[in-house]
Structure 1
Amino acid sequence: MNYTQTLDYLFNALPMFQRVGATAFKKDLSNTLALCKHLGEPHQKFKTIHVAGTNGKGSSSHALCSVLMQAGYKVGLYTSPHLKSFTERVKINGIEIPEDEVVQFVNENKGFLDDLKPSFFEMTVGLAFWYFAKIQVDVAVVEVGMGGRLDSTNVIQPEVCLITNIGYDHMQYLGDTLEAIAGEKAGIIKQNTPIVISQRQADTTHVFNEVAKTKQAPIFFAEEFFQIYKVSDRSSGVYRVVQGQESFVIEMDLKGNYQQKNLAGVLKTLAILGKLGFSISHNHLQAGLENIVKNTGLKGRWQLLNESPTVLCDTGHNEDGINYILNQLKEYSYEKLWMVLGMVNDKDLHKVLSILPKDANYVFVAAKIPRAMSALALLELGREHGLEGISMDDVNDGLAYAKKNASKDDLIFVGGSTFVVAEINDL
């Protein structure tokens, strides 16, 4: 098979949760374990850092990767979903896996894969571990896909685990309370392995404490060690970090205000890695956090696409993520706000739509995936919440319409779903 045929095999022959939803969700690790055994247990041949959470796990994973790269390590990075290219999911030092490596992996293992019938996600996890072992990375940052306990990535034995924010997302799979969702995320906590919690939350703290106690895992609530204060307003990415009696300034090239919640967890995770023998200086830390996008190729996190009118996009897609976006939009001066939004149909859309500003102009769109709610259906649902606008099937048509009708002093935001952001041509 060539690369195009290989991608067809990956995307179409096997279930892919991001595209189809529930039918691709598996409730055990048996396929991943079988695939790893077939591949020679590649995940046991390099050190790992495991990152879970509802919001912030992708940004935190890229931040950790960037700092470790600055410290001179060969760093694998596994994240999902991809925005533009499948190969974004598997990187070493910010370089995407070559297409011919993807082809080789499938061609060499196709007979086994045909018999096992793993999900798309299980296969990509196997691919990542196989490639990281082949290239002999020093350490890999592995982002959980969904949940934690039963996620395909949860076969690794990491040096340290990090759990970011816990919010309401994927509730039909993970539970309908924050405690239940936290319980699934806490499934990545391993015996005698340090666990960092980025954000102490009233509904989840006891869950993490109980699991950590059971696993005899040292637990660290990051905000007890690092207090993070924003230095200036509006998307500066500059923070003052207070650590005991000392303080220092960090500038991140990720400008979303929600990075303030992620930063303490990243810093504590790196501090623990330092105690485990990783050589990470303050200069490595500063340079790594200033160059996350450059080093790792991260896209779609509070990204400026245009000026006059201002066009911003962000992949935040659940109630917590949208709240952060709306609060940050309030820091901007503009005449009129335009919202180009698309969403998937298995979220609690009423919660999200109910918090959106009613005085904005809406252009409802749909990503080109089966899970996407149609633009017209989203328009009708939006009207139930007092949101007025139009529907256009294509994301880029919707953005073009907004830019054509906006004044130079207006602000256009594009988002609502990772998959909407992924289809922006100018990203």
Structure 2
Amino acid sequence: MAFGELVKRHLVDTRPLGVPAYRRIWLGQAVSHVGVGVTVVAVGQQVWELTHSSFWVGLLSMANLVPLVVFGLWGGAVADAMDRRKVLLIGSAVAWAATLFILVQALLGTGNVYLIFAAVALNATGFAITGPTRGAIIPRILEPELVPAANALNSLVYSIGAVIGPMVGGVLVATGGFAAAYAVDALLFAGSLYAALRLPSLPPKGEVSRPGGRAVLEGLSFIVRSPVLLMSFVVDIIAMVFALPRALFPELVDKSFGGSETALGLLYSAMAGGSVIGALFSGWVGRVARQGVALVVVIAVWGLAVAAAGLVHELWLVVAFMAVGGAADVVSSVWRQSILQLYAPDEMRGRLQGAFMVVVAGGPRLGDVRAGATATVFGLTGAWVGGGLACAAAVLVVGLSVGAFRNYRAGTAAKGREAAPE
């Protein structure tokens, strides 16, 4: 096979961009994710300057997490009961209003940390509504065989935003202040609003459940009764809780790299950089049929990469191994999202996407707690390396022990249904 053909087969599959509705969603996300990264940096720095307390900066995670959990589950239920275009517009409007709110407080110079927390919580509420809805929309506007490629493209723009956004945010805060950073985010978010406005009507299909606690419980019950879906959640929790070493970065930099801020920045960006590379060369991902086994293997690779990063002493090697972990993580994300979107019936997709969001949002934060707690008992190396090895061992044992998940093939629908274009 010629080198050019080999590269083409492995580069990210761009066929979903040929569908206008998806292309607009993708472009809207591409610009808005940069804005999100800008605001993340600006908000953290503004709270620090107002309080000079890392505790208050840390509380920003809770201001994000609680709305993501509560409204992620509820938003998914709403997405199954209403026209998904309308739900996406409502959630986008809430998130944009939050961005405008935080911009106004910066322009007025209120200096009130509680207003910032309220804006962050409101923004997380909007994201909790749009996230599950957007995930449930993808299988409605694309053929099933294009869904993995679409998820890879989504991961690509998310990872690029995670790399570029914070860098742009740092420059904007330094040169134009907080208001300039928030204004750029508000401007870039217009891309997501435009994409939502141009979507066709997407009314619910199948049996419609009224949004509320009962509908949420129906979605959670469906996951528990579906070994394939349940295991796709379990292996992700194993990956994040057992192996994520993010909370150990400051200690590693302080002990091994002289407290260098450059080293700290490289560590925080290493995974995102690896994710960009993994997504760019994800053309092969959609051709893998045994996605259950493949998912287990790639999460084991993630765990081993983390363990290797904890054993080396040169900064460039730590960054390289964490980048390998980031590449493995993005492939894992593509397969987990694809399994969820194609295995579930359409009338359940919103609720299952909401549960997916809860796991994605909560897993890393539990991983931070695990890393910090085990480091106090076993030390930095024990917590870092031990977590990676435990992840690899646990995911191989647990993931391969469930026959339905081990034998799952791409595109297989729940209850024997064949996945079909919608």
Asked if these proteins are the same fold (TM beyond 0.5), I'd say no
Please tell me the TM-score bracket, short chain as reference. Answer: under 0.3
What's the TM-score once normalised by structure 2's chain length? 0.27
Higher helix proportion: 2
Higher strand proportion: 1
